[in-house]
């Protein structure tokens, strides 16, 4: 088993990513928005995995910061989609709660690597 598979934040990021992908499949978004949201959501998972394989604290920290930034990107995209009526309020709130939890966990992880 790889180290990242043991991380609770990785498991939660995979759930978030699966929800985003499901939303994308069910919604008619323009190609640019769909691609950006898909890539940002996937980036969270991938940067957690890549960061966990780094040897230095600084390297791990950098990837966790990028993962956290991708969460912010996802929430911003989803917020705009909510404003444009592509996303219902209750679905946005679910993504928001998940994103906020992921962000808080990563914030602690980053601080612990300083």
Query: Can you give the residue range of the structural domain that contains 8?
Result: 3-112
Q: pTM for the full model?
A: 0.96
Domain count for the chain: 1
Q: What is the DSSP string of 7-73?
A: -HHHHHHHHHHHHHHHHHHHS---HHHHHHHHHHHHHHHHHHHHHHT-SSHHHHHHHHHHHHHHHHH
What CATH number is given to the structural domain containing 80?
A: 1.20.1440.60
pLDDT by residue for the chain (114 residues), tens only, comes to 999 999 999 999 999 999 999 999 999 999 999 999 999 999 999 999 999 999 999 999 999 999 999 999 999 999 999 999 999 999 999 999 999 999 999 999 999 998
């Amino acid at each position: 088993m790889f180290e990242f598979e043991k991380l609770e934040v990785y498991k939660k990021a995979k759930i978030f990513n699966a929800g985003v992908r499901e939303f994308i499949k069910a919604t008619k978004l323009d190609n640019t928005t769909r691609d950006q949201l898909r890539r940002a959501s996937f980036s969270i998972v991938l940067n957690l995995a890549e960061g966990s394989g780094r040897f230095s604290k600084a390297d791990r920290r950098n990837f966790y910061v990028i993962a956290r930034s991708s969460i912010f990107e996802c929430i911003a995209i989803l917020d705009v989609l909510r404003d444009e009526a592509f996303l219902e309020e209750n679905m946005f709130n679910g993504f928001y709660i998940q994103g906020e939890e992921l962000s808080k966990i990563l914030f602690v992880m980053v601080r612990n690597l300083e």
